Amino acid sequence: MRRYLALLACSLLLAGSPALAAAPRLVADGSDIAQWKALASDQVRASLRRDSSDASLCLDYDFAGVSGYAVMRRALPLDWPRRFELVGTIKGSGATNDLQMKFVDASGDNVWWINRPNTALPARLTPMKIRERHVSFAWGPSEDKALRRTEALELVISAGREGGKGSLCLSSLTLVERAPDPSPWPEARQRRVDAQTQDFDFQHAREFMGLALQWPAGLRGLDYDLLASDDGRQWRNLRAVRGSDGGLDTVFLPESEARWLRVRQLRGTPATGSLKLTLQDWPDRNAMLKAAAATLPRGQLPRALLNEQNYWTLVGVDGGAAQAGLVSEDGAIELHRSGASIEPSLRLADGTSITWADVKLGQSLADGYLPMPRVHWRHPAIELVIEAAADGTRDASALMARYTLRNPGKQALSLTFTLALRPWQVNPPQQFLSTQGGVSKVEQVAWRNGQLMLNGKAVLASNARPQAVTALPFDGGLSLASLQSAPTLNQLTDPQALASAALQYRITLAPGASRTIAWSAPSSSTQRIDQRFEAAAAHWRERLNRVQLQVPPAAQPIVDSLRSALAQILMSRQGPALQPGTRSYARSWVRDGAMMVAGLLRLGEQDAAREFVDWYGGQVFASGKVPCCVDQRGADPVVENDSHGQYLYAVAEVWRHTRDYAWLARHWPRVQQVADWIEQQRQSERTATNSTPARAHLFGLMPPSISHEGYSDKPAYALWDDFWTLRGLKDAVQIAERLNKPELPAWQGRRDEFQRELMAAIQASARVHKLDHIVGAADRGDFDPTSTTMALNPAQAQDQLPPGLLEKTFERYWQESLARAQGRRAWKDYTPYELRTVGAFVRLGQPERAHAMLDFFFKDQRPQGWNQWAEVVLPDYREPRFLGDMPHAWVSSDYIRSALDLFAYEREPQAALVIAAGLQRAWLDAGDVEVRGLSTPYGLLDYRIQRTAGGWALNLPARTARLHELHGGIRLAWPGDGPLPRALHQGRELPWQGRQVLLPRAPADVQLIKQD
């Protein structure tokens, strides 16, 4: 049966009637269609009609295969009371989509909303009720987030999981002002009805989200019912609790309201002592679990439920993001996105329990860089190594785990090793974008034919038969001891969908002996699991070493993290769609994708780059507007004016590295559309208004947008957009030139004009805001050097930027970064997108600063052994906050591009390659440095710098295929600030220009003779 009320399905219906502070007021209805208008995003169709059968007003919509939204909007000047209810009637038809109600202020910039994802509308007009706590501030620049006065109402259908077409109908909407609650609330009056029944009178109707019951000590095996009443005579059932193990019971009862509560015991010793019941305001099940976790010994539940930040990493196959698992730093493994976790624990023969909280923890990767994570438990009595890997195809992959137990002692050791399936993710509760972290539904568990079943599907098979398999519903308790002593599992259904199961292995280990337990999920062969692990390792070794970098040991972490970063990008993509992550960011942005494409191509991943550009090109709107992002719903219409240049850059970058003319020609029609769209947007800001002195710093820039994450409160004239636009115009010209298109002269004019006006705007912005550096946004005058790096690469506009402003920009960034690293500057958080600045310092001829920044960033790889960064880094390692995805594949691409710049980068205006600009002199003194197979726009690059008795020998083989295009040649940049070596080629001395020397055309051998 369809959910009969959209907002009830989203837990918005409330019981009871409020005390009123004023007469109800009708604020909107469907009687006058003229008061409303229909709006829609790109390529979405929307219209209004009256439904005469029930006098409702209907918004008919059709998403036509794209993402986006349809809106019915009307003016609604309204002063909001502090406490209120909105009471209305709605209906609808169509697929499951996101239902939103928005309240917009007079500026149009500040929005409050109720957002209910994946809602099925009722087929008939049905009451709904909304209270003030359901309304939240959505976005806008206002510092006052309270809902006080708004001017417009919007009812919105936003494309959800299904999209399609349908209708949303409103009959009426009434505002009811509520009287304030008592302050403070009076104590509940407790009364025993009989030996099995106790009542609690709260003296006023109260809203609550759950309750906590503290049973007297010693009670076990309790069955009881919870009932509620508004008058103390008529009772309704709230919840049946079965098999409670006593102690503290936490009961989630969302959107409840009552004056009286009753606890009626059905089984177990009657509670003769005091039963304590407290109402709770838990916003969700995660909050309820945290309350339960606080009562258990540390280690029984994950640290994430103890309000400690936990860290995790990804395990999966190339292109199989939807099936990828997560591994926590403590050794838990999440089976798939939003899936349950498998947690290890041990119990020694003397009853000692060993969990993650009782051991010394460590983390590593196979070979130091393969995406096959390991967690190490070290305890005086036992050592455990947890390993995870994945194999299979992008459409049908499997997760594997091995647990190797070793007895480090001198006596035989008997123990029980437990693998517990638990109803929560590794992805912690504070993760909320796209995928809500924390709780995972476990409605049914079963053990059949040596396989663990979850919600009716076989999910896990072990290579060894456990001696016991047990399970508990949520009401039976959450402790490991309760689970291990629970009844044998055949099949168990939990009404709360929070069941746990345990596979228990009894093991005896001789001194120094080891035993390995393994599993595969979904269930598949576990007899060859060691061979499967080795095959997975062999695959990744080949895939991650197409470009080979040989460095001394001190530099190896840079190379290992580079190879791991490539794996992180490949595992995070879903088929051809490059994604920043698999949980919070399980969708594809063109900005992230374009920068990943650049890194992939340099590392020889032409197919992955080409697949993405082919796929994303098919998402471009008919107008030529490039969507900012795409997911299963389709192309997103949100205006982000960096997107168009990023798409053109990705197309051109694939061509530069592959020289596939036929492929480029296939993309030409779309390139034309996108280039023309950019021109429309550019011309919209070349107005008389923007020609005035007060707005001259905005003239000719791209229109304001929210592409830059720092400007989500209100669209801004972000130079980030303009640097990407300049890159896109340059690439449009290159594409037209290579394909010999007649548009070339006009497009060259557009490129040159935009570049002039952009540079003028940069200088004007500095004057208007009285700054000595390049601004982040021309209208805001903020400081954003991470965005400014785009001007150097990929825009390749370093030579056109005002030199004084450029120098001051990165000088200020350096001084502030130094203060942060030395603890002289407090910081709340930062994002490792800043890794882009490493490449910027290399290109600015400041490699020592590049390495100082790398040292700082490497300290924030969490945990250290997994070669990764989250999107957000906090100074307090254990502060629980949203971190984005971990690893974050866009950050991985920033690292790849900067790390490769250490070895070689392109100077496009001079058609030159600069090699070794980011090497450290200590590397060259400690050992040889070699690069093999690095892809450049001029072909593959190889070079080797080898130590000799008198200095070094540079070998430059003739691998670079398109030498005739390298008009500026290959230049060697010498590291450090000490004396330059003499550079000799065939007995002829090569002149240094600053700290660079132009090398002879390959093949060439150059002697570098020490002079210090």
pLDDT in tens, 978-1004: 899 999 999 999 999 999 999 999 899
What are the φ and ψ backbone dihedral angles of 524, each rounded to 5 degrees?
-155, -170
For the domain covering 6-177, report its CATH number. Answer: 2.60.120.430
CA angle at residue 218 from 214 to 223, to 5 degrees? Answer: 65
**C-alpha–C-alpha distance, residues 257 and 261, integer Å:** 10
pLDDT top residue among 600 and 185: 600
Res. 15: pLDDT tops 60: no
Paired with 795 in beta bridges are: none
Superfamily of structural domain 189-283: Galactose-binding domain-like (2.60.120.260)
Question: For residues 504 and 490, is the Cβ–Cβ distance under 8 A?
Answer: no
| End-to-end C-alpha distance for the chain, whole angstroms | 84
Q: In which band, very low, low, confident or very high, does the pLDDT at 13 lie, cut at 50, 70 and 90?
A: very low
Q: How many residues does the chain have?
A: 1012
pLDDT in tens, 591-602: 999 999 999 999
In the CATH hierarchy, which fold is given to the domain comprising 904-1009?
Maltose phosphorylase, domain 3 (2.60.420)
- Number of H helices and E strands in the chain, helices first, is 17, 50
Vertex 931: Cα angle to 925 and 937 (nearest 5):
135
Tell which wins on pLDDT, 273 or 240. Answer: 240
Tens of pLDDT, residue by residue over 77-127, are: 999 999 999 999 999 999 899 999 999 999 999 999 999 988 999 999 999
Mean pLDDT, range 255-277, rounded to an integer: 89
Residues near 17 by Cβ (< 8 Å), separated by ≥ 6? none
Distance from C-alpha of 630 to C-alpha of 580, rounded to nearest angstrom: 12
Return d(Cα 383, Cα 380) in angstroms, integer: 8
- CATH, domain 544-552+563-685+695-901, list 1.10.10.10, 3.40.140.10, 3.40.50.1000, 1.50.10.10: 1.50.10.10
d(Cα 18, Cα 181) in Å, to the nearest integer?
Answer: 10
Q: What is the DSSP string of 530-544?
A: HHHHHHHHHHHHHHT
Residue 952 has pLDDT above 90, yes or no: yes
What does the pLDDT read at residue 18?
Answer: 53
Which string of b and e fits 414-434 if b means at least 16 CB within 10 Å?
ebbbbbbbbbbbbbbbbbeeb
What amino acid is encoded at 32 in this protein? D
pLDDT-derived band at 19 (thresholds 50, 70, 90) equals low
Residues 469 and 972: their CA atoms lie apart, in Å, by 65
Residue 303 has pLDDT above 90, yes or no: yes
* Residue 570 clears pLDDT 50, i.e. is over it: yes
Residues 6+ apart with CB under 8 A from 742: none
The ranges of the chain annotated as CATH 1.50.10.10 are 544-552+563-685+695-901
Q: What sections of 170-223 are H helices per DSSP?
A: none
User: Does the pLDDT at position 268 exceed 70?
Assistant: yes
Question: Quick one: pLDDT band at residue 28, thresholds 50, 70, 90?
Answer: confident
- Per-residue confidence band for 27, with pLDDT thresholds at 50, 70 and 90: confident
Q: Half-sphere exposure of 296 toward its Cβ, with a 13 Å CA cutoff?
A: 25
CA separation, residue 736 to residues 646, 647, 664, 675, 722 (Å):
17, 15, 10, 11, 21
Q: How far apart are CA 904 and CA 71, in angstroms?
A: 51
Give the per-residue pLDDT at 963. Answer: 75
List, by residue range, all CATH 2.60.420 domains of the chain: 904-1009
pLDDT at 576 over 70: yes
pLDDT band for 41, please (50, 70, 90 cuts). Answer: very high
pLDDT for the residue 976: 86
Q: Is the pLDDT of residue 825 over 90?
A: yes
Query: What three-state secondary structure class fits 973?
Result: strand
Q: List, in order, residues 6 or more apart from 527 with CB less than 8 Å away.
A: 463
Q: What band does 220 get if pLDDT is binned at 50, 70 and 90?
A: confident
* pLDDT for residue 73 is more than 70: yes
Pairing of strands 548-550, 996-998: unpaired
Distance (Å, whole) CA 330 – CA 302: 8
Mean pLDDT score, 862-876: 97
Cβ-in-10-Å burial (0-12, 13-18, 19+) of 639 comes to middle
Nearest to 919 by CA among 975, 971, 995, 997: 975
The mean pLDDT value for 10-14 works out to 35
Q: What does the pLDDT read at residue 3? A: 31
pLDDT-based confidence at residue 20 (cuts at 50, 70, 90):
low
Q: How far apart are CA 618 and CA 994, in angstroms?
A: 47
Span(s) in the chain for CATH 2.60.120.430: 6-177
Nearest to 800 by CA among 749, 850, 762: 762
Which is the CATH superfamily of the domain at 303-541?
Glycoside hydrolase, family 65, N-terminal domain (2.70.98.40)
Task: Cite the DSSP H helix spans in 468-579.
Answer: 480-484, 529-543, 556-572
pLDDT at 8: 32
Place of tokens 């990767």: 365
Q: What is the pLDDT of residue 6?
A: 34
Whole-number percent of the chain with pLDDT over 90 = 88
Structure tokens at 670: 């779309």
Burial class (CB in 10 A: 0-12, 13-18, 19+), 998: middle
Q: pLDDT value at position 16?
A: 43
